[in-house]
Amino acid sequence: MTESVNFWAVVPAAGVGKRMQADRPKQYLPLAGKTVLEHTLNCLLQADVFSALAVAISKEDPYWPELDCSRHEHIITAAGGQERADSVLSALKSLSAQAADNDWVLVHDAARPCLTVADIRQLINTLQQDEVGGILALPSHDTLKNVAADSITQTIDRSVIWRALTPQMFRYGMLKQALQAAEGNPAITDEASALEMQGLQPKIVEGRPDNIKITRPEDLALAQFYMKQQAQQREQQND
């Protein structure tokens, strides 16, 4: 008999969005008729694989209770933390009564609303038999340079450079332990880096280039373009 393993989603949504320079955190900005965060959560719900979604929300956040999805039966609210890693750890802890160490957790940035169900399935199908887990990533297309004081010191071998995206998929117990061990370390900017610190080597799975993170003002228009394109693709597939 195969053991039954559950899947959980963790969504860090407690950032202030400083680089976006908007009047509210970027996860609450409007995009194609909904907020950024609603698009993100809808995609995770549509994947129909998660037992629940744990969303980390800042204590001073007046926008979250206004969204219908804050009361969704499969969505759990956790307190956000100082840094992204603290928010993720807090959301993981909110699942401790339900999640088993061997269960899989997919951590996905609230600020990546163009995620597709296809990419979620691709990540899960590729990694669910893996020992460690891994992340969606993209190969680098640009030529990359090492720079010191405005001058190039070296050209980096592009073939070994990948850009880390989310979701990042790891075992519940292993991820919680790795984040606890790394608490307060500013170098831990994603889940994979916490696992790497434990001497583990997470896998990469090539993701779609439209899974962008909304970071700066110009990214919102790009996200809108990708959403429109995805909707057109879905229509064509249904024709």
Q: Tell me which stretch binds Mg ion (CB under 5 A): 9-17, 36-44, 61-69, 120-128.
A: 9-17
Q: What is d(CA 117, CA 147) in angstroms, rounded to the nearest whole number?
A: 38
Q: Tell me which stretch binds ligand CTP (CB under 6 A): 8-16, 119-127, 155-163, 169-177.
A: 8-16
Q: Tell me which stretch binds ligand CTP (CB under 6 A): 45-53, 64-72, 108-116, 140-148.
A: 108-116
State yes or no: residue 108 binds ligand CTP (CB under 6 A).
Answer: no
Query: What are the DSSP calls for 33-77, one per residue?
Result: TEEHHHHHHHHHHHT--EEEEEEEE-TT-SSGGGSGGGG-TTEEE
Least distance to ligand CTP, CB of residue 123, Å: 18
Least distance to ligand CTP, CB of residue 106, Å: 14
CB 189 within 8 A of CB 97: no
State yes or no: residue 77 binds ligand CTP (CB under 6 A).
Answer: no
Q: What is d(CA 24, CA 229) in angstroms, rounded to the nearest whole number?
A: 27
Residues 6 or more apart whose CB falls under 8 angstroms from that of 58 comprise 14, 15, 16, 25, 80
Least distance to ligand CTP, CB of residue 237, Å: 29
Select 189 or 201, whichever has its Cβ closest to Mg ion.
Answer: 189
Least distance to ligand CTP, CB of residue 229, Å: 22
**What is the token pair recorded at 177?**
């332990």
Which residue's entry shows tokens 């980390």?
Answer: 56
State yes or no: residue 163 binds ligand CTP (CB under 6 A).
Answer: no
Q: What is d(CA 42, CA 50) in angstroms, rounded to the nearest whole number?
A: 12
State yes or no: residue 207 binds ligand CTP (CB under 6 A).
Answer: no
Residues 6 or more apart whose CB falls under 8 angstroms from that of 169 comprise 104, 105, 106, 107, 123, 124, 127, 133, 134, 135
Q: Give the closest residue to 122 by CA, choosing from 82, 165, 87.
A: 165
**What is the token pair recorded at 182?**
């790394």
Question: Tell me, what DSSP letter sits at residue 183?
Answer: T
Least distance to ligand CTP, CB of residue 55, Å: 9
Q: Per-residue contact track with ligand CTP, 14 to 43, x per CB under 6 A?
A: xxxxxx-------x----------------
Least distance to ligand CTP, CB of residue 199, Å: 25
State yes or no: residue 84 binds ligand CTP (CB under 6 A).
Answer: yes
Residue 151 contact among ligand CTP, Mg ion, none, beta carbon within 5 to 8 Å by kind: none
Residues that bind Mg ion (CB under 5 A): 15
Residues interacting with ligand CTP, by CB under 6 A? 12-19, 27, 56, 80-84, 87, 109-111, 213, 215
